[in-house]
């Protein structure tokens, strides 16, 4: 039994496990028979258990009923740690009439989300009731990179739900990408365009300047790769070439373990250090930018009250 688990774990580290195998690992770790050598991984699989539950059982009412959770949820939100489902819960709470006095201060922050939730709720009902034929068409559209943002959200919700059919289960990981996205709205699109602009201008510090990389271009390329591999092996080669050319600044080190230790390597070490510092600096600035724009939004809300 133990060697089996070890094999599964090995597969897991290599991200080769199927959903079925991951379920097995999870079951093992939630049982009482975890071997000593495996106990260190307990926390890791606990994490995935709760993730699945969040995705498949969005029992908004049950969770809403427990208001103590609201303080925790808000705390998480302020730490930018909430999942999409949690944010939905917070949104529903703030839309309702039972907002506690102590939470009233956050109202402006969540007002922003009010509009967007109304826009998407109708769409969800349509998809859920329209049956699987429509889904196959949507998936086909997706492989051809023809889906709209709304259609992709629909697909994401389908794959996040508990009713994914067997033929679709295999491609579910492709849509897992969308789970971690916040609800896409027109406001955020503008921001991301601006950021893509900033990124392409201040991108690389070394002498090898890479082509500017916009987020939407990368998503489209990923789909082309998936479609090619699924369809024809011959095109698989083309897909690999596309992936390599769109990778980011560390192409020369890709997939390698580089140890810079010798005097002759000092130049390289210097370059990579500058890059690392540049990345750090850029991320810190992104953090300040995000704060500035969130505060600005909150201010706007109170002006119109």
Partner 1 sequence: MAGTVSAQVQTDAIDRFFEAYQDDEDFTMVYVSPKMFGMFAKVAGDELDTELQNLVKDLKGLKILRTDKNSSEIYKSALKKLPTNEYELLMTARDDGQNVKILTKTKGDDVIEELLLLVGGADEFILVSFVGNINLNDLAKVASSLDIDGVKHLEKLGQD
269 contributes a contact to partner 1 by CB under 8 A: yes
Tokens of residue 298, six digits: 């909150």
Contact 56, 162 (CB under 8 A): yes
CB nearer partner 1, residue 123 or residue 196: 196
Answer whether 81's CB lies under 8 Å from 64's CB: no
Q: Which residue in the set 39, 274, 297, 300 belongs to the binding site for partner 1 (CB under 8 A)?
A: 274
CB of 279 to partner 1, least distance (A): 7
Answer left, alpha or beta for residue 131, where phi above 0 means left and psi between -120 and 50 means alpha: left
The encoded tokens of residue 19 equal 């959903």
- Calculate ∠ Cα 131-132-133, nearest 5°: 100
What number of CA atoms fall less than 13 Å from residue 11's CA on the CB side?
15
**Interface residues for partner 1 in 124-143 (CB under 8 A)?**
none
DSSP state of 184: P
Query: Closest CB to partner 1 among 68 and 180?
Result: 180
- CA 297 distance to own-chain centroid: 24
d(CA 270, CA 251): 17
Q: Is 65 among the residues that bind partner 1 (CB under 8 A)?
A: no
Q: Does 272 bind partner 1 (CB under 8 A)?
A: yes
For partner 1, the binding residues in 149-208 under the rule CB under 8 A are 176-177, 180-182, 191-192, 195, 198, 201-202, 205
Residue 1 binds partner 1, judged by CB under 8 A:
no
Query: Per CB under 8 A, does 273 bind partner 1?
Result: yes
Site membership for partner 1, residue 277 (CB under 8 A): yes
Residue 96 CB coordination number (10 Å): 9
Binding-site size for partner 1 (CB under 8 A) equals: 61
**What is the closest distance, in whole angstroms, from the C-beta atom of residue 67 to partner 1 in the complex?**
25
| DSSP 8-state assignment for residue 98 | -
Site for partner 1, rule CB under 8 A: 13-15, 43-44, 47, 79-81, 176-177, 180-182, 191-192, 195, 198, 201-202, 205, 215, 218, 247-248, 250, 253-261, 263, 265-267, 269-270, 272-274, 276-292
């Amino acid at each position: 039994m133990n060697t089996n688990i070890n094999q599964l774990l090995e597969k897991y580290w290599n991200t080769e496990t199927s959903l079925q195998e991951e379920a097995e690992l999870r079951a093992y770790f939630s049982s009482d028979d975890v071997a000593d050598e495996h106990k260190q991984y307990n926390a890791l699989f606990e994490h995935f258990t709760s993730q699945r539950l969040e995705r498949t059982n969005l029992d908004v009412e049950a969770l809403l009923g427990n208001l103590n959770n609201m303080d925790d949820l808000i705390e998480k939100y302020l730490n930018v740690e909430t999942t999409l489902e949690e944010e939905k819960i917070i949104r529903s709470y703030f839309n309702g009439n039972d907002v506690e006095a102590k939470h009233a201060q956050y109202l402006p922050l969540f007002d922003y989300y009010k509009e967007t939730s109304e826009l998407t709720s109708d769409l969800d009902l349509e998809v859920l009731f329209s049956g699987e034929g429509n889904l196959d068409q949507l998936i086909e559209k997706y492989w051809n990179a023809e889906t709209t943002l709304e259609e992709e959200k629909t697909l994401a919700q389908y794959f996040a739900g508990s009713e994914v059919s067997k033929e679709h289960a295999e491609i579910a990981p492709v849509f897992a990408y969308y789970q971690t996205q916040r609800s896409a709205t027109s406001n955020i699109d503008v921001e991301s365009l601006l950021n893509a602009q900033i990124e392409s201008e201040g991108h690389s510090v070394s002498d090898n300047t890479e082509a500017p990389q916009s987020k939407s271009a990368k998503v489209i390329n990923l789909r082309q790769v998936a479609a090619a591999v699924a369809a024809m092996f011959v095109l698989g080669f083309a897909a690999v070439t596309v992936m390599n050319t769109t990778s980011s600044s560390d192409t020369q080190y890709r997939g390698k373990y580089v140890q810079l230790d010798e005097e002759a390597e000092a130049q390289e070490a210097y370059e990579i250090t500058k890059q690392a510092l540049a990345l750090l600096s850029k991320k810190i600035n992104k953090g300040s930018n995000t704060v500035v724009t969130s505060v600005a939004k909150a201010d706007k809300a109170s002006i119109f009250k």
